[in-house]
Amino acid sequence: MPKLDKVKEELGWLKVLFAIAVATNLSLMGYLAQHYDTQKISFSILNGVAIILTTVIIIIINKKAYKKIDEIGEL
């Protein structure tokens, strides 16, 4: 497989992971917003940590995707 095709496939996979991470992050934020007054504080803290972790994952995936886009531009 030529290098360009390989990089395009990797970029496609990163797009899927990015979409999953964003959907997960939004779902966690929506759940926290709807249930902040009825759930235990420990669960709210755990949910907040999960939101922070998914946000970090989104940032990492975004940086990798931009590197792949730059790599495609060089080919």
Cβ 10 vs Cβ 70: under 8 Å? no
Residue ranges of domains in the chain: 3-74
What is the pTM for the complete model shown?
0.88
Q: What confidence score (pLDDT) does residue 2 get?
A: 87
Q: How far apart are CA 21 and CA 28, in angstroms?
A: 11
Query: pLDDT, tens digit, for every residue of 30-67?
Result: 999 999 889 999 999 999 999 999 999 999 999 999 99
